[in-house]
Amino acid sequence: MAHINMEIKAKCAHFGRIKNVLKKQKADFKGLDHQIDTYFRTNSGRLKLREGNIENALIYYKRENNQGPKQSNVLLYNHDPGSSLKKLLSSSLGVLAVVDKKREIYSIGNVKFHLDKVRDLGSFVEIEAIDAFGNMGKERLLQQCQFYVNLFKIREEDLVSCSYSDLLLHKKQ
């Protein structure tokens, strides 16, 4: 399944404040997921295998590393936990990085919210405005993303431009 996301990621020291805003906005709590994202070596974009209690998917995406809302072009394949997919990808492509996180998942309409505690990196909030059917347009997704950035009072200096895998790789250098 292909779709477009407009998303932001930011450092977050105040999950409580964001949870209160989400509660006031009547967000749907999807659950707490312990996710292992294995990133594989690719010639372009990013390819990761997500293994969790709630979400299990092979995700390929292209996105520029810039601060603030950014567009991701996403291809998603839901897989069965425990399949041989990880072994196949590890053997053929090689593993680039592994991200271990505990994620609280919320949603309001087409917008997903993640409160992440990432091993070795800290706490983050993600906002993903998703156009799953190609009928919303980039401008609407950008407006939605910016609305929640303002509502959550996310500071510009807390915005993160790259993926968790990039942060881990930079930390190791």
For residues 74 and 19, the model is more confident at 19
**Contact indicator for 42, 62 with CB cutoff of 8 Å:** no
- As to burial, measured by CB atoms within 10 angstroms (0-12 exposed, 13-18 middle, 19+ buried), residue 13 is exposed
Whether pLDDT at 42 is above 90: yes
Cβ atoms 11, 124 nearer than 8 A: yes
CA atoms of 160 and 123, how far apart (whole Å): 12
Cα-based distances in Å from 47 to 28, 39, 94, 162: 28, 6, 11, 14
Nearest C-alpha neighbor of 52 from the set 13, 79, 85: 79
* Model confidence band, residue 1 (pLDDT cutoffs 50, 70, 90): low
pLDDT at 2 over 80: no
Q: Is residue 145 over pLDDT 90? A: yes
Task: Taking the CA atoms of 167, 169, 172 and 173 in sequence, report the sign of the dihedral they define.
Answer: negative
Average pLDDT over residues 23-32: 97
Bridge partners (DSSP) of residue 50 are 37, 57
pLDDT score, position 134? 82
Residue range of the domain that includes 153:
2-172
The answer to whether residue 7 scores a pLDDT higher than 80 is yes
Residue 99 is predicted with a pLDDT of: 98
CATH number of the domain that residue 49 is part of: 2.40.320.10
pLDDT of 67: 75
Contact 130, 140 (CB under 8 A): no
Identify whether the C-beta of residue 50 lies closer than 8 Å to the C-beta of residue 76. Answer: no
Per-residue pLDDT band for 46 (boundaries 50, 70, 90) equals: very high
Full-model pTM: 0.91
- The total number of structural domains in the chain stands at 1
